[in-house]
Structure formats: structure tokens, C-alpha cells
Copies of this chain bind each other. A is one copy, B any other.
Amino acid sequence: MVEPGDPLHATCEEPVFDPLVGEDGAGTLTIAEAAAATGVSTHTLRYYERAGLMRDPVARATSQHRRYSAGDIRWVTFLTRLRTTGMPIREMARYARLAGAGEGNEAERLALLTEHRRRVLERLDEVQRNLAAIDKKIAVYQEIAVYQERIDR
């Protein structure tokens, strides 16, 4: 038995809930449930853990089955934000290592995220510029379509 809601070690990172509440993981999610909750496949969840993206290894039931805490779910959700904005796995691993090391490296984490943000904005701008060029081509084809229509009637 473990008391829930330990008010200690409340870090600024992810509000950590006790991973194993009650007997063998009550209040936690199986890997399939975590997959459903985050939109990431079970394969990928295991892969992410192997790749060092989880700050700390995910808690286990006595059966060795993974038990995802609410904090784990929030963390994975944040990982997906980094991923869909194009951060490479290696860099996510570096961020996870920093976050897993606890307080004291916030400046480094800030720098990492800020630099990522800069690259994302750069990329967004590049895509938008190229899309504008494609839009021009689209406009040309729309002209042709109008012309065809005139012929067809």
C-alpha cells in the first residue's frame, strides 16, 4: 500500500503523480490505453522508451507490464508536439535527459526549445513561400479551366 498524493518533489516540469497508486498500478494505464490516450502506437511507445525519450523508465506492474501514469501521458503528448513540429528523436532524447536530470538545467532546456522554435518558424516560412509559388501555378491551371469551360459551351 502506498499513500496517494505525495506533495513533495513538486517540480516545475510535469506535475508528477505517484506512478503506482494502490495495488500494482491502480490509477495508471496499460500500454494499449496509453496508446489510445496519446494517439501513438504501442510499438512506438516502446520504441520511444528504448530511445531514451521517457525521462525515467515507465513504471511496471509486478507482471513487468508497463503502467503509464498521468504524468507519463502528458509527457508523451508533449513529445508528439515536438515530433510533429519536426524535432529529431536524438534531440528529443537530449531534452528528455535534461528533464529527467531534475532542476538546475532549465536554462539549457529553454535554449533547446527556443532554438527548435526558431527552426520551426524558419521552416514554416520556407513552406509558405514555396506554397505561394505553387499557388501561382494553380492559378494558371484555373485560367485554363475557365477557358476550357468557354469552349465546352
Contact = CB atoms under 8 A, between A and B. Distances in A.
Nearest to A138: B113
Contacts of A84: 126-127, 130
| Interface of A (DSSP majority class) | helix
Interface residues of A, number: 36
A87 to B, nearest CB: 9
Given A106-B145, A134-B113, A145-B110, A140 B85 contact: no
A47 interface: no
Interface stretch (A36-44, A53-61, A65-73, A116-124): A116-124
Given A81-B130, A106-B148, A114-B138, 5 more contacts: A78-B133, A84-B127, A84-B130, A106-B145, A107-B141
